[in-house]
Amino acid sequence: MSSSSFLLALLCISIGSLASAASAGEEDSVSIFQVTDGKLGGYPQWVSFKITNLGRDTLEVKNSFLSYGKWYKYPNKNNDGSAPGGITIAAGATSPNPAFAACGRQGSPSGTTGGFDIYTKGFKVATIHFDCPYTGSNKLSVSDECKNCVVQLPSFSTSGALGDLVLKVVALV
């Protein structure tokens, strides 16, 4: 058997195994790549953020960044957006409307990863980090939380999209 015939046979066996696993409900054994309109797509990996300000002073989103993916104008993933910055959230309000959002890039098996800072009165309240990978588990975390500040992270899905998230923030500085 030639090496090309061997590789073709191996590929057929692998495809058959994936089909059997899929019909048996073994999702972890099925191909990790999602195909939309004939293209690999990162669009299923997305997150949107709103912030509820439970404090007495205005909050501001600054220093947003992405390591992977793109910012988009929620809810349309085909409408690229700019990095959120300068968004303000008044005391007692939930903003922005619409939410700011990030997703993986169409045609790329990479998901989205990034973060942003929340400030009040010139003081950093916290840094929010998110990771919605194409494969693996989602992560959402807070770091650099200031003294007398609390950021409550919502529950979120550990696979697929992180989805629509509302962070609750109290900053007493």
d(CA 108, CA 81): 18
What pLDDT, on a 0 to 100 scale, did the predictor assign at position 42?
81
Mean pLDDT is lowest, of 32-41, 44-53, 84-93, 95-104, for 32-41
- CB contact burial 78-101 (16+ within 10 A = b; e otherwise): eeebebbeebebeeebbbbeebbb
Work out the percent of the chain whose per-residue pLDDT is above 90. 72
101: β partners: 48, 72
d(CA 108, CA 44): 11
The reported pTM is 0.78
Rg (C-alpha) for the chain, rounded Å, is: 20
Query: H or E element: which one contains 143?
Result: strand 139-143
In the predicted structure, residue 135 carries a pLDDT above the cut 80: yes
d(CA 79, CA 172): 37
Task: To the nearest 10°, report the CA torsion of 30, 35, 41, 43.
Answer: -90
Q: Which two tokens stand for residue 64?
A: 């947003």
What pLDDT, on a 0 to 100 scale, did the predictor assign at position 40?
54
What pLDDT, on a 0 to 100 scale, did the predictor assign at position 14?
34
Averaged pLDDT, 81-105: 96
